[in-house]
Structure 1
């Protein structure tokens, strides 16, 4: 059932497909962000009408869109057609019928994007790990004993960093970093497992770590994936 994968509150990206407007109309190529309000059946959903610069974007009835859902179970994609739009309690709602099967997007979630970011990390205490397992964010002292290193690639599932120190494989660590261009200067915090550690052949004394997020809030994961999408688009735009 659709509701097994998509839930109210999930973020969703919309991109127009086909000749909805004239080619020179910026709305045709624009990607809009919205939120799922309701899953009314296995092939029908309701979402908030997109807002940009404080104004509602009136997407046309019968317009067809590619949708990408940021679900707690991963990223999912399908195509849908707007069949109605209405106002309820000062909210503008779009009603869409799915016109293709829902597919999971593995590539997007785990696509690794090369970058250079400062990473702060330290070993995680037993008390902290137990707190995160209970879905309670608890850090003894987030800044105590932090070591600095350099992230060389990130994804929605983990990252790779290089440091002049090394953790043991299998250890659990607290990590934090900031994404460039983030207007809120948000610090992304997560608990991770060290999957693999290896010394760089070309740089003795430097160690490459591959780590996987164990506990990360979904909003942070969505922000990271969205950052990767945007950077990927900028690169493609420069290449064309």
Structure 2
């Protein structure tokens, strides 16, 4: 894949390097803006917890994105920072070509988004008339690879759930996920006793991209609020 295939607004996941072999333990959100002469890539300055994250020239990074339902990535170095058209920018020099990758780790965003779920027996053959009703609850956090869900009733580790995530009034995302983490609160967190980490098992690339876009937009709103 070539860099000229990147489109304006393409959502990006960024992980910085502290040293040649050590990554910063923070995953950041950004988006592609445009290409300048000499194959210089301009991206939006990354966001973390609703604030611009400081990145200095000379910093190396891994950049990951979704294209046609697949994950791709490349390594790059920050050559400069700037502001153009009221957008805080980083200018990148690619250090490698774009390669297809097999990775399911994504940034996480703390948010309480409505979600409907129900436990299912076999994710390959869902018999809707035999499954229970969808139950409404809220997320604890959200990412491109999965979601944290707050529960009143326990769902065991390894179970499968069918979910409908309501990003906003016109944006519903459906997926099937597997419970990869179960936490029981030592004290009741409001009306919720449990929290599960759900890894996406069946989700379209388009819906995954919608989740990432939602996270980016919400981060932008937090920045504007200060």
Same fold (TM over 0.5): yes
Q: Report deviation, 1:78.
A: 6.3
Which residue in 1 is equivalent to 2:117? 121
Which residue in 1 is equivalent to 2:23? none
TM norm structure 2: 0.58
Give the structure, 1 or 2, with the largest relative contact order (CA under 8 Å, sep 6 or more): 2
Which residue in 2 is equivalent to 1:214? 201
Which residue in 1 is equivalent to 2:171? 186
Q: Output the CA distance in 2 between the equivalents of 1:177 and 1:156.
A: 13
Which residue in 1 is equivalent to 2:157? 169
Instruction: String of CA shifts for 1:139-196, please: whole Å, max 9, x gaps.
Output: 625995111211110000011111111111101110111113x6xx131110000112
Structure 2, unmatched stretches of 5+, are 12-30, 44-62, 77-92
**Which of the pair has more CA radius of gyration?**
1
Which residue in 2 is equivalent to 1:203? 188
TM norm structure 1: 0.55
SS of aligned partner of 1:203: strand
Which residue in 2 is equivalent to 1:84? none
The RMSD of aligned alpha carbons is: 4.2
* Distance verdict in 2 for CA 1:165–1:209, change over 3 Å: same
Instruction: String of CA shifts for 1:35-76, please: whole Å, max 9, x gaps.
Output: xxxxxxxxxxxxxxx9xxxxxxxx887784336742344253
Q: Report deviation, 1:230.
A: 2.1
Matches within 5 A, 1:25-104: 64-66=40-42, 69-71=65-67, 72-76=69-73, 99-102=94-97
Please state which structure has a larger fraction of its residues in strand.
2
Instruction: String of CA shifts for 1:90-140, please: whole Å, max 9, x gaps.
Output: xxxxxxxx85424789999621101111111112242xx225xxxxxx662
Structure 1, unmatched stretches of 5+, are 16-30, 34-49, 51-58, 80-97, 132-137
Please state which structure has a larger fraction of its residues in helix.
1
